[in-house]
């Protein structure tokens, strides 16, 4: 299975915010830290806000921050919200679909994949927070 760039960016935003939970961060700062397009992150951040993962802070020093603690953000839930669909193959028009076992095997594999992601929270992914911060700071300084 391959996740979309959208999900990748959503997880990057959450990791950046989770690495510094007491800070309000701008989209441009996050984009610079990863070396990616600010325009792409705007929609991602907006959707993360609608889903309740981040919240906006208005004003001159505004930006976004996590809307809840990192240990309350489940990775599997984020992936389910950010991925359009989980159909690994299109079997509807295949002539052998009624007798093929591939669909069942792929459904089982997808369930196992998601079960692993469901065991992790954002906090689990932030175990090396100080190392993450050094990497972000180096990127922002360059």
Element holding 66 (H helix, E strand): strand 63-66
Mean pLDDT confidence for 25-36 = 95
pLDDT of 37 strictly over 80:
yes
C-alpha 41/C-alpha 58 separation (Å) is: 18
Residue among 20, 72, 66, 62 nearest 45 (CA): 66
The whole-model pTM stands at 0.89
Listed in sequence order, the residues at least 6 apart from 129 whose beta carbon sits closer than 8 Å to its beta carbon are: 19
pLDDT digit string, tens, across residues 62-116: 899 999 999 999 999 999 999 987 777 788 788 998 889 898 898 899 999 999 9
Structural domains for the chain = 5-141 (1.10.10.10)
């Amino acid at each position: 299975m391959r996740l979309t760039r959208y999900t990748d960016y959503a997880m990057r935003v959450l990791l950046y915010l989770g690495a510094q939970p007491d800070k309000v961060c701008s989209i441009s700062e996050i984009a610079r830290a990863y070396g990616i397009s600010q325009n792409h992150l705007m929609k991602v951040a907006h959707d993360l806000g609608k889903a309740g993962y981040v919240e906006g802070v208005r004003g001159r020093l505004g930006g976004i921050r996590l809307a809840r603690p990192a240990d309350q953000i489940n990775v599997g839930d984020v992936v389910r919200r950010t991925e359009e669909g989980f159909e690994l193959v299109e079997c509807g028009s295949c002539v052998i679909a009624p007798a093929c076992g591939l669909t069942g095997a792929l459904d089982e594999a997808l369930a196992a994949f998601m079960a692993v992601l469901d065991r992790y929270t954002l906090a689990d992914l932030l175990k090396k927070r100080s190392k993450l911060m050094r990497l972000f700071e180096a990127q922002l300084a360059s």
